[in-house]
A and B are shown apart, each in its own frame.
Chain A
Amino acid sequence: MKNSHTIQEIIMQLNQYWSKQGCMLMNPYDVETGAGTMNPMTTLRTIGPEEWNVAYVEPSRRPADGRYGENPNRLYQHHQYQVILKPSPDNVEELYLASLEALGIDPLEHDIRFVEDNWEAPTLGAWGLGWEIWLDGMEVTQFTYFQQVGGIACQPVSAELTYGIERIASYLQDVEDVFDLEYTKGVSYASIFRQPEFEHSKYTFEVADTDLMFRWFNDFEQESGRAIAENLVFPAYDYVLKCSHTFNQLDAAGAISVSARAAYIGRVRVLAQKIAKLFLEERCKLGFPLMKDRDAALKWVKELTPQN
Chain B
Amino acid sequence: MNTYLLEIGLEEMPAQMILPAVEQLKTLVNKTCEQHQLSYNDLHTFSTPRRLTIQILGLPEKQADRSIELKGPPAAIAKDKDNNWSKAAKGFAAKNGVDVAALEIREYEGKDYLFVQRMELGQPVPELLQGQIEQWISQLNFPKNMRWGSYRMRFIRPIRWIVSLWNNCVVPVKLEMVEAGNETRGHRFLSSGNSLLKDAADYQNQLEKLYVMADFEKRRESIVSQIRKLEQEFGFEVELDDKLLTEVTNLVEWPTVLLGEFEEEFLELPSEVLVTSMAVHQRYFPVFRKKVNQDSGVKTLLPHFVTVRNGNSEWIDTVRRGNAKVLRARLSDARFFYLDDQKKSLENFRQKAENVVFFQQRGSQDQRVLRIADLAVFIAGKLNLSDAQQKHVRRIAELSKFDLESRLVQEFPELQGLMGENYARLKNEAAVVCRGIREHYYPRNAKDSLPADAESVPVALADKLDLLTTAFSLNMIPSGAADPYALRRTAQGITQLILGLRLPLDLRELTSAAVRLLDEQQKLALERTKLQEELLDFLLQRQRWFMQERGIRYDLIDAVLKNQTEVKAVNGKTPHRVLAIEQLQYADYLGDHLETKMFKRSVEAIVRAGNISSKYPDKIADNLVESALKLTEEINFFAALKPILKSDPQTLWTPDNYLEQLREIEPVVTRFFEDVMVMDEDPVKSGNRLWLCQQLAQWSGRHLDLQSIVFA
Q: Which residues of A contact B (CB under 8 A)?
A: 71-74, 87-90, 93, 97, 107-116, 118, 128-129, 131, 135-138, 145, 147, 154-157, 159, 171, 176, 254, 257-260
Sorted from nearest, which 10 A-B pairs have the closest CB atoms? Answer: A136-B322, A114-B12, A137-B323, A116-B14, A156-B150, A109-B315, A259-B357, A111-B309, A107-B189, A137-B326
Bitwise, B300-326 to A at CB < 8 A (1) or not (0) is: 000000010111001100110111011
Check if B147 sits within 8 Å of A147, measured CB to CB.
yes
Q: Summarize B's interface: helix, strand, loop or mixed.
A: loop
A171 to B323, CA, bound (A): 11
- Contacts A138-B322, A159-B148 known; list 19 others, CB within 8 Å: A72-B332, A90-B177, A108-B189, A108-B315, A110-B322, A111-B310, A113-B12, A113-B251, A115-B251, A116-B14, A118-B144, A136-B325, A137-B326, A137-B327, A145-B147, A145-B148, A147-B146, A155-B150, A260-B357
Q: List 23 A-B contacts (CB under 8 A).
A: A73-B332, A89-B149, A107-B188, A108-B190, A108-B311, A109-B314, A111-B310, A113-B251, A131-B12, A137-B282, A137-B326, A145-B146, A145-B158, A147-B146, A147-B147, A154-B147, A156-B149, A157-B150, A176-B325, A254-B355, A259-B357, A259-B359, A259-B360
Check if B146 sits within 8 Å of A171, measured CB to CB.
no
- The residue that A138 contacts in the complex, of B251, B252, B318, B325, with Cβ under 8 A, is B325
- The residue that A136 contacts in the complex, of B149, B319, B355, with Cβ under 8 A, is B319
Residue of B with least CB distance to A139 = B326
A118 to B326, CA, bound (A): 21
Check if B148 sits within 8 Å of A108, measured CB to CB.
no
Check if B149 sits within 8 Å of A110, measured CB to CB.
no
- The minimal Cβ–Cβ distance linking A175 to chain B, given in whole angstroms, is 10
Check if B322 sits within 8 Å of A157, measured CB to CB.
no
Report which residue of B322, B332, B355 has the largest number of chain A beta carbons within 10 angstroms of its beta carbon: B322
Check if A137 sits within 8 Å of B189, measured CB to CB.
no
- The minimal Cβ–Cβ distance linking A53 to chain B, given in whole angstroms, is 13
Residues of A within 8 A of B13 (CB): 116
Residues of B within 8 A of A108 (CB): 189-190, 311, 314-315
Residues of A within 8 A of B11 (CB): 93, 114
- The residue that A73 contacts in the complex, of B309, B311, B329, with Cβ under 8 A, is B329
Bitwise, B430-445 to A at CB < 8 A (1) or not (0) is: 0000000000000000
* Chain B 143-173 residues near chain A, CB threshold 8 A: 144, 146-150, 157-158, 160
Report which residue of B13, B189, B190, B314 has the largest number of chain A beta carbons within 10 angstroms of its beta carbon: B189
Residues of A within 8 A of B673 (CB): none
Residues of B within 8 A of A87 (CB): 149-150
Residues of B within 8 A of A71 (CB): 333, 336
Given contacts A116-B14, A259-B357, contact A157 B310 (CB under 8 A): no
Residues of B within 8 A of A107 (CB): 188-189
Check if A136 sits within 8 Å of B326, measured CB to CB.
yes
Q: Is B49 an interface residue (CB 8 A)?
A: yes
Check if B318 sits within 8 Å of A109, measured CB to CB.
yes
Check if B311 sits within 8 Å of A157, measured CB to CB.
no
- The minimal Cβ–Cβ distance linking A298 to chain B, given in whole angstroms, is 17
A90 to B315, CA, bound (A): 30
Residue of A with least CB distance to B177 = A90
Residue of A with least CB distance to B305 = A137
- The minimal Cβ–Cβ distance linking B284 to chain A, given in whole angstroms, is 8
Check if B147 sits within 8 Å of A157, measured CB to CB.
yes
A169 to B323, CA, bound (A): 16
A89 to B12, CA, bound (A): 16
Check if A129 sits within 8 Å of B146, measured CB to CB.
yes
Residues of A within 8 A of B149 (CB): 87-90, 156-157
- The residue that B319 contacts in the complex, of A74, A111, A116, A254, with Cβ under 8 A, is A111
Residue of B with least CB distance to A147 = B146
- The minimal Cβ–Cβ distance linking B702 to chain A, given in whole angstroms, is 46
Residue of B with least CB distance to A135 = B322
A118 to B157, CA, bound (A): 12
Residues of A within 8 A of B12 (CB): 113-114, 116, 131
- The minimal Cβ–Cβ distance linking A105 to chain B, given in whole angstroms, is 10
Residues of B within 8 A of A156 (CB): 149-150
- The minimal Cβ–Cβ distance linking B409 to chain A, given in whole angstroms, is 14
Q: Is B594 an interface residue (CB 8 A)?
A: no
* Chain B 343-380 residues near chain A, CB threshold 8 A: 355-360
Q: Is B328 an interface residue (CB 8 A)?
A: yes
Check if A136 sits within 8 Å of B328, measured CB to CB.
no
Given contacts A115-B251, A176-B328, A257-B355, contact A110 B333 (CB under 8 A): no
Given contacts A108-B314, A157-B149, contact A258 B322 (CB under 8 A): no
Report which residue of A73, A137, A260 has the largest number of chain B beta carbons within 10 angstroms of its beta carbon: A137
Q: Is B536 an interface residue (CB 8 A)?
A: no
Interface residues on B, range: 35 or more
Bitwise, B220-246 to A at CB < 8 A (1) or not (0) is: 000000000000000000000000000
Residues of B within 8 A of A136 (CB): 318-319, 321-323, 325-326
A264 to B14, CA, bound (A): 32
Residues of B within 8 A of A155 (CB): 147, 150
Q: Is B28 an interface residue (CB 8 A)?
A: no
Check if B189 sits within 8 Å of A112, measured CB to CB.
yes
- The minimal Cβ–Cβ distance linking A151 to chain B, given in whole angstroms, is 16
Bitwise, B2-19 to A at CB < 8 A (1) or not (0) is: 000000000111110000
Check if B49 sits within 8 Å of A114, measured CB to CB.
yes
A112 to B251, CA, bound (A): 11
Residue of A with least CB distance to B14 = A116
A114 to B332, CA, bound (A): 25
A257 to B15, CA, bound (A): 35
Residue of B with least CB distance to A254 = B355
Residues of A within 8 A of B311 (CB): 108, 111
- The minimal Cβ–Cβ distance linking B609 to chain A, given in whole angstroms, is 57
A145 to B360, CA, bound (A): 35
Residues of A within 8 A of B355 (CB): 254, 257
Residues of A within 8 A of B319 (CB): 110-111, 136
Report which residue of A93, A116, A155 has the largest number of chain B beta carbons within 10 angstroms of its beta carbon: A116
Residues of B within 8 A of A118 (CB): 144
Residue of B with least CB distance to A115 = B251
- The minimal Cβ–Cβ distance linking B491 to chain A, given in whole angstroms, is 22
- The minimal Cβ–Cβ distance linking A164 to chain B, given in whole angstroms, is 13
A74 to B310, CA, bound (A): 29
Residues of B within 8 A of A260 (CB): 357
Residue of A with least CB distance to B330 = A73
A171 to B321, CA, bound (A): 10
Given contacts A87-B149, A89-B149, A108-B315, contact A72 B329 (CB under 8 A): yes
- The minimal Cβ–Cβ distance linking A297 to chain B, given in whole angstroms, is 14
Residues of A within 8 A of B327 (CB): 137
Residue of B with least CB distance to A170 = B325
Residues of A within 8 A of B144 (CB): 118, 129
Residue of B with least CB distance to A94 = B188
Residues of A within 8 A of B360 (CB): 259
A74 to B337, CA, bound (A): 13
Residues of A within 8 A of B49 (CB): 114
Check if B310 sits within 8 Å of A113, measured CB to CB.
yes
Residues of A within 8 A of B157 (CB): 129
Check if B147 sits within 8 Å of A257, measured CB to CB.
no
A257 to B360, CA, bound (A): 10
Residue of A with least CB distance to B359 = A259
Residues of A within 8 A of B146 (CB): 128-129, 145, 147, 157
Residue of A with least CB distance to B150 = A156
Check if B356 sits within 8 Å of A258, measured CB to CB.
yes
Residue of B with least CB distance to A154 = B147
Residues of B within 8 A of A137 (CB): 282, 307, 322-323, 326-327
Residues of A within 8 A of B148 (CB): 88, 145, 157, 159
A118 to B144, CA, bound (A): 10
- The residue that B322 contacts in the complex, of A114, A128, A171, A257, with Cβ under 8 A, is A171
Residues of A within 8 A of B160 (CB): 90
Check if B333 sits within 8 Å of A73, measured CB to CB.
yes
A131 to B158, CA, bound (A): 13
- The residue that A110 contacts in the complex, of B14, B15, B315, B336, with Cβ under 8 A, is B315
Check if B326 sits within 8 Å of A138, measured CB to CB.
yes
